[in-house]
Every structure is written in structure tokens, then in C-alpha cells.
Structure 1
Amino acid sequence: MLVRLMYASRATAAFSEADLALILKTSREHNPAEGITGLLCYSDGIFVQVLEGGREAVNARYKHIVLDKRHRDVVLLGYEEIVERGFPGWNMGQVNLHRLNPALVLKYSETGRLDPYAMSGGAMAALFREMCASGAIAVS
């Protein structure tokens, strides 16, 4: 059974581009064996991630994230059973914030700043769908 999980968390320490690149590299190396696909966004000390895959694999990864000392204030934004993946070809895509239109964020948020703690899970999911459609995702 496939599921989609979306969460937000705050970084416990500042993350450099190199730190983020290492997380993405590790995800892209390990996710195929676990059948996990998804999308990661990091901005202003906040992570938002969508994970898709089998229920056990996604739940185990989320538990690992919740216990990871690099994250705090982890909040579940959405969890659902799905018929098909939204990101089937992405071991882990990354939101390219340089290509993100601030008006797109403002469409779903109180301000033009990406803050999942002030948005509903449904609004975050809709924003992620539009980011994918607009080409604001970097995949490697």
C-alpha cells in the first residue's frame, strides 16, 4: 500500500548549502532500496518534506526524522493512502527557491514567506503541486 506523508521541522542548527547537498545525496542513495520517493524544501531554517512509498518504509523514515537531533518542532502536515505517486521519478527532488515565484507562496499563505507552521497541510500540498508544475524543482 502506497502512502504520502508531509511534515515540517525546524533545523536545530544553521544548514549550509553543503549540509543540504549531503542530505540530498544520502537520500538519493538510500531511497531507491526502500522504495521511497519525494521532495524536500529548506528555507530560513525550516524543512518541509513529502515522502511517498510503502507504509512501513515511509513510517520508518518519518520516525527516524522525528528522532534525528538535526530536527525540532516536527509536525505532521498530512498523511494519506494514495493510488499513485506524485513524484515517481524522484529519489528526492529539491525545491529550487531561486526559481520560486513569491506570488505563488502568497497564493497559499498569509505572507510571501514560506512558513508551513502558519499554513494548513492542504495548502502546503497544493503549493507543492504548483511548484512541481511551475518547474521550481531541481532533480538529480
Structure 2
Amino acid sequence: MTLTQLVYASRSRLVEAERSVEIPRILASAQRLNELNGITGFLLVTPGGFAQILEGEGDSVVETYGRIMADPRHGDLRLLQQATAIERRFAGWTMGMAERDPTTEFIFGLYGISADADIFDQQLDTIVDLAGQLAAHPA
């Protein structure tokens, strides 16, 4: 099996009234499907966007990304990386998640993510490093 890591960012099409219901749905669906397909990863959520790292067998990762591309809650998807990986960075997570909120605002801010600089606009290294930091120290 060839291990693939895929990283993308997208704009959120969720309206504020839907967020408290839809974010847990996204996470629960990702965890269920990822467990079935041998995928691990981490999802970063801000009011304006999403960024996600997916790891697993190449075909499974591409299939998962295809479902995300068709999901109406995501807009303007940016594929930041699709590459062979030596090992899983998020092996313990069928899908971990961190949302920028009052609890995590400081750590997101350390990586330059704020109300004025959303996750969608961030570079690959920033997204992967922030997700790794949050996965290592869950709130």
C-alpha cells in the first residue's frame, strides 16, 4: 500500500445558524467513513473555511476528497498537496478536529489565523503545523 497525504482548504458555505448542527455532522460522518476506509486526518474549522489533512491508501484518499468536492458545505476548494507519505502524522485520529473559537483562538492566532486572515488563505506548512500542534495537545 502506498500511503498518501492530501491537504486542502475550502471556503465554508455554512450560515451561522447551521454551524452548531453541521460541524458535528461533518465530524461524525468523516470519522465513520474514514474508519471504514482506513483514513486518518485532522480538520481545522474557522467561521470562513475549512482545512483538512487526509492520510491513507491513495485511492481511498482520492475517493474521500471527491466526496468533499461534491459537498455543498464546501466552496472554492484549493488542493494544497497530494503526495506520498512515509508515515501517518495523524495515526491516532480517524478524524481529529479543532475549531477556532474562544478556547483555541490564541493558538490559531500564533499561526496567523484570525478573523482577518482565515484558514482558507493559509499556506500548506501553516495548516499542517497547526493541525499537528492541536492534535498533539487536544483542548
**Normalised-by-shorter TM-score class:** 0.7 to 0.9
Q: Give the letter for the 1:48 counterpart.
A: A
> Which residue number corresponds to residue 32 of structure 1?
35
Matched length: 134
Q: Give the letter for the 1:84 counterpart.
A: E
Structure 1 residue 59, shift from structure 2 partner: 0.7
After TM superposition, the score normalised by the length of structure 1 is 0.82
> Which residue number corresponds to residue 123 of structure 1?
126
- For residues 135 and 13 of structure 1, the distance between their equivalents in structure 2, rounded to whole angstroms, comes to 24
8 Å Cα contact 1:7-1:76 kept in structure 2: yes
Out of 37, 54, 57, the position equivalent to 2:57 is 54
Structure 1 residue 45, shift from structure 2 partner: 3.0
> Which residue number corresponds to residue 7 of structure 1?
8
Cα deviation, 1:62-108, whole Å, max 9, x if unaligned, reads: 12211222211111122221111111121111115444252x33433
- For residues 8 and 118 of structure 2, the distance between their equivalents in structure 1, rounded to whole angstroms, comes to 12
8 Å Cα contact 1:10-1:72 kept in structure 2: yes
Cα deviation, 1:36-59, whole Å, max 9, x if unaligned, reads: 111112211311111111110001
**Structure 1 vs Structure 2 CA RMSD:** 2.0
Structure 1 vs Structure 2: percent identity of aligned residues? 31
